[in-house]
Amino acid sequence: MSKTLGEFEQIAQLMAPLAEKAKGAFALKDDGAVFSHRIDQEIVVTTDTLIAGVHFFATDDPFDIAVKLLAVNLSDLAAMGACPLHYTLNASYPQNITNDWISTFAKGLAHMQERFGISLLGGDTTKTPGPLTLSLSAFGLVKKSTALRRNGAGEGDLICVSGTIGDGALGLKVAKGDLEDTSGYLLSRYLRPSPRIALGQSLIGLATACMDISDGLLGDFNHLGCGGIIHMDKIPLSAQARQILDKDSEQIFTILNGGDDYELLFCIDEKSRPVLEDIAHACETDIAVIGRITKDSDLSLLQPDGTTMSTIPSGYRHF
Amino acid sequence: MSKTLGEFEQIAQLMAPLAEKAKGAFALKDDGAVFSHRIDQEIVVTTDTLIAGVHFFATDDPFDIAVKLLAVNLSDLAAMGACPLHYTLNASYPQNITNDWISTFAKGLAHMQERFGISLLGGDTTKTPGPLTLSLSAFGLVKKSTALRRNGAGEGDLICVSGTIGDGALGLKVAKGDLEDTSGYLLSRYLRPSPRIALGQSLIGLATACMDISDGLLGDFNHLGCGGIIHMDKIPLSAQARQILDKDSEQIFTILNGGDDYELLFCIDEKSRPVLEDIAHACETDIAVIGRITKDSDLSLLQPDGTTMSTIPSGYRHF
């Protein structure tokens, strides 16, 4: 059994090393932290809360929980085209969380720090009688007035997505034992999403609208504030998702509507289409054109036989 | 009974009005928010989590909970000498929280926005199976490289505090029914602390060290990283605290060590003493000189009879 550390020892030993590269974090010893941007930049801030039993399983590996916590926030920065810089962490730990747990959690944070060049800037640690509750705020930089927005798509724009759709939602079903995937791929996509940071930055000045898909492709499409036609056969699926869909066509609803994709949904003008391939190559991220923005305010799902899908599942709501 | 609002309606109707004055909040409709500072400034960020049953009573008035949530964070900005600008809110609501509750909570936020010239920038709303959990991050501005720090006090510096000490901790005892205060003053100090924003800004370039007192005067003094002598009879008490202490001298431990003061503890060079009165007047905040930093690393509490208090209660720890 590990020695119990008090609040201040825990912060000094387990968290302060994560803040070493952020001079303005003052080793987490002050009332606040300080940071700044260059004159031609702005700060993008985003924040998300993950709760045990709601957004992840309390028994998940703390390393994975840390990866997901940072990934979902970095995915929001990616959606705005921002370059990630810092984050703050509010951790509310139940009594049964051990120092070993926190130590492994910190290793997951360190892994993401290394991968995305970010550092911890500050935070707050509390005990809770409730479930483990983790709020993280991520800070990134964009060139002034260039941040990607959700609401700029116009009629005729191409609808694009990164990566593959539905893996996260299928992975959740695997985690629950409702689906089988011996490859482990779907579960890894659910547990450790990849924020599309490089792609987001490449889309600045190019995408007319951009957002990340966290609540399912169809539900999130509504937030673009316009209608469109999406070609069902153009929606990119992983081999594993395809295999599951071949066995059970009803899983299309999980894929389109299940959440946890953390891919980018964006629109571009038709004339920008030729550069997509270069961007995909440079960012090592597949990009698929899946449809087009229409004058109509509705979304139509076009099936390969030319008919429109009659039942469009409604978007995921947190509550 | 109020109509149940979904996540997006709740944000649009109850929260978005709080973000109206922050252009970069994009009406809370985007993946993140954007803000910036002038070239000669830096951003100060601080964050605190308050949990029902831990930091406040679940039955407290939601207006008061909102006031306290912003106050404890603004108090950290005050301690760094920052001018408050924006905040983000992560609210995890249990099932029994109604729209009326959230509406009153939003009124408390609006009250503090008006009072301190700040606006909501973004956030995240989730449901939790646990207690109401509120994380707030506050953003302020300071002139570059001028933020007040905890660690600059030197031997001979005067130890100062704002306002009166112990009211919050005594107010908590009133709230629990363990003490009586018919005036309601102590309870109000516990429920609705006043962050010393104007004072913090006035101390820039003057204070050699500054922090806010959230965990009790004695416990927090340790975070200054030096020793000192504090004159017990110089510690400023409210008439109500004095009255309680007169009846029960043991309450001195509550006063010195109980937390929830949200006053500023700061040090100045002896030669700056003459300006304290002007600052106190300009900021409409009493300031008391309660002691002096010493060469020793220990803290001594000097009693009026010249003896040193033998039992120094140890600082409050969250866990």
B99 in contact with A at a CB cutoff of 8 Å? no
Chain B residues in contact with A47 (beta carbon < 8 A)? 88, 90, 122-124, 137
Contact A92/B127, CB-based, under 8 Å? Answer: no
Mean pLDDT for the stretch of residues B154-174: 97
3-state secondary structure of B148: coil
Question: Residues B71-124: pLDDT tens digits?
Answer: 999 999 999 999 999 999 999 999 999 999 999 999 999 999 999 999 999 999
CB-nearest partner of A133 from B36, B77, B133: B133
Q: Cβ of B71: how many Cβ atoms within 10 Å?
A: 21
Is B281's pLDDT higher than 60? yes
CA-to-CA dists, residue A246 to A186, A190, A242, B166, angstroms: 16, 20, 6, 68
Query: Across the 319 residues of chain A, what is the mean pLDDT of every consecutive 10-residue run?
Result: 69 93 94 95 97 96 98 98 98 95 97 98 96 98 97 96 98 96 96 97 98 95 94 97 96 94 97 96 97 92 88 49
- Lowest-pLDDT choice from A1-5, B134-138, B154-158: A1-5
B34 in contact with A at a CB cutoff of 8 Å? yes
How far apart CA B241 and CA B262 sit, in angstroms, is 16
DSSP code of residue A274:
G
How far apart CA A74 and CA A47 sit, in angstroms, is 9
User: Three-state secondary structure along B76-133?
Assistant: HHHHCCCEEEEEEEEEEECCCCCHHHHHHHHHHHHHHHHHHCCEEEEEEEEECCCCCE
Interface test with A, best of B31, B213, B215 (most A CBs within 10 A): B31
Output the pLDDT for position A316. 43
Q: Cβ of B245: how many Cβ atoms within 10 Å?
A: 17
Contact A68, A187 (CB under 8 A): no
Distance of CA A182 to the CA centre of its chain: 24
Domains parsed from chain A with CATH numbers: 7-143 (3.30.1330.10), 158-302 (3.90.650.10)
A176 in contact with B at a CB cutoff of 8 Å? no
Is B255's pLDDT higher than 80? yes
pLDDT band for B156, please (50, 70, 90 cuts).
very high
Distance of CA A23 to the CA centre of its chain: 27
Structure tokens at B27: 């009406």
Is B189's pLDDT higher than 60? yes
Contact A82, A140 (CB under 8 A): yes
B77 in contact with A at a CB cutoff of 8 Å? yes
Tell me how close the Cα of B272 comes to any Cα of chain A, in angstroms.
24
DSSP code of residue A305:
T
B40 in contact with A at a CB cutoff of 8 Å? no
A29 in contact with B at a CB cutoff of 8 Å? yes
Tell me how close the Cα of A182 comes to any Cα of chain B, in angstroms.
32
Q: Which of residues 190-229 of A touch B (CB under 8 A)?
A: 211-212, 223
Contact A124, A158 (CB under 8 A): no
How far apart CA A30 and CA B252 sit, in angstroms, is 27
User: Greater confidence, B4 or A284?
Assistant: A284
Question: Residues B58-72: pLDDT tens digits?
Answer: 999 999 999 999 999
Structure tokens at A17: 């090393």
User: What stretches of chain B show up as alpha helix (H) in DSSP?
Assistant: 7-10, 62-79, 99-116, 167-175, 185-191, 197-202, 217-221, 239-247, 251-257, 273-283
Is B5's pLDDT higher than 80? no
Tell me how close the Cα of A125 comes to any Cα of chain B, in angstroms.
8
Chain A residues in contact with B46 (beta carbon < 8 A)? 31-33, 122
Output the pLDDT for position A237. 98
Distance of CA A25 to the CA centre of its chain: 25
Kindly compute the dihedral angle of the four CA atoms of residues A24, A27, A29, A33, in this order, to the nearest 10 degrees: 20
Structure tokens at A108: 């997951």
Query: How would DSSP label each residue in A193-244?
Result: ----HHHHHHTTTTEEEEEEESS-HHHHHGGGSSEEEEEGGGS---HHHHHH
How far apart CA A182 and CA B288 sit, in angstroms, is 69
Contact A76/B31, CB-based, under 8 Å? Answer: yes
Chain B residues in contact with A318 (beta carbon < 8 A)? 7, 125-127
Output the pLDDT for position A8. 82
Output the pLDDT for position B68. 97
CA angle A18, A23, A26 (to 5 degrees): 75
A239 in contact with B at a CB cutoff of 8 Å? no
Let me know if A292 is exposed, middle or buried by CB neighbors in 10 A (0-12, 13-18, 19+): middle
User: What stretches of A98-166 show up as alpha helix (H) in DSSP?
Assistant: 99-116
Output the pLDDT for position A313. 56
Is B316's pLDDT higher than 80? no
CA angle B69, B73, B76 (to 5 degrees): 150
Let me know if B95 is exposed, middle or buried by CB neighbors in 10 A (0-12, 13-18, 19+): exposed
CA-to-CA dists, residue A18 to A11, A89, B308, angstroms: 10, 11, 41
Question: What beta strand segments (E) does B6-40 contain?
Answer: 33-35
Question: Residues A235-284: pLDDT tens digits?
Answer: 999 999 999 999 999 999 999 999 999 999 999 999 999 999 999 999 99
CA-to-CA dists, residue A22 to A34, A44, A118, B142, B299, angstroms: 9, 17, 9, 18, 31
Strand B227-231 with B299-302, pairing: parallel
- Lowest-pLDDT choice from A71-80, B1-10, B218-227: B1-10
B29 in contact with A at a CB cutoff of 8 Å? yes
How far apart CA B164 and CA B307 sit, in angstroms, is 23
Contact B126/A30, CB-based, under 8 Å? Answer: no
B1 in contact with A at a CB cutoff of 8 Å? no
Query: Which of these, B162, B287, B296, B161, lies nearest to B228 by C-alpha position?
Result: B296
Name the pTM for this structure.
0.94
Question: Residues A152-161: pLDDT tens digits?
Answer: 999 999 999 9
Contact B33/A55, CB-based, under 8 Å? Answer: no
pLDDT band for B18, please (50, 70, 90 cuts).
very high
How far apart CA B283 and CA B229 sit, in angstroms, is 27
Distance of CA A82 to the CA centre of its chain: 13
ipTM score above 0.90: yes
CB-nearest partner of B51 from A8, A51, A126: A126
Q: Cβ of B184: how many Cβ atoms within 10 Å?
A: 12
Contact A31/B123, CB-based, under 8 Å? Answer: no
